[in-house]
A = this chain, B = another copy of it.
Amino acid sequence: MSAYEVTLPVRFGQVDYAGIMFYPRFFENFHTVFEDMFSSRLGVRYMALLRERRLGFPMVRMETDFRKPFRFGDPMRLRLSCERIGRASITFRYRAVHGPETEPSAEALGTVVIINLDTFAKVPIPPDILAVLQDLHD
């Protein structure tokens, strides 16, 4: 398959007094592409994974480079791909690209673990999710 991509325009409530995207807002967008990927590729809503299958995906480590600012209205193309698959952990690559460009203006590596939401204990990646992740690369 390929990386999963959505485009989100930068909103007024996401820019700061300097007119550029306030850096904590990037992470909200990173989570949005993560959510949408499950609906699109797994065919299951992210919330159903939590509510019905009692799975959680807490972030344990994230490295982010911010190379070029985003301004109000800029279309942010968000690409999500899978960098590394462990037994109970997954490292994703997030790229935020200015609409027509090819090089990411912001880029992150984020590692989540999979847990049971009732016990907060780690669980192995379920097979249907594993299959989706194995296809989530450039």
Contact = CB atoms under 8 A, between A and B. Distances in A.
A73 B38 CA distance: 11
Contacts of A72: 17, 45-47
B12 A59 contact: no
Interface residues of A, number: 42
Contacts of A63: 61-64
Given A17-B16, A117-B18, A71 B58 contact: no
Given A64-B62, A65-B61, A31 B13 contact: yes
Contacts of A32: 11-13
A39 interface: yes
Contacts of A16: 12-13, 15-17
Given A18-B56, A31-B13, A47 B71 contact: yes
B17 A13 contact: no
Q: Which 5 A-B pairs have the closest CB atoms?
A: A24-B27, A47-B72, A23-B59, A63-B63, A45-B73
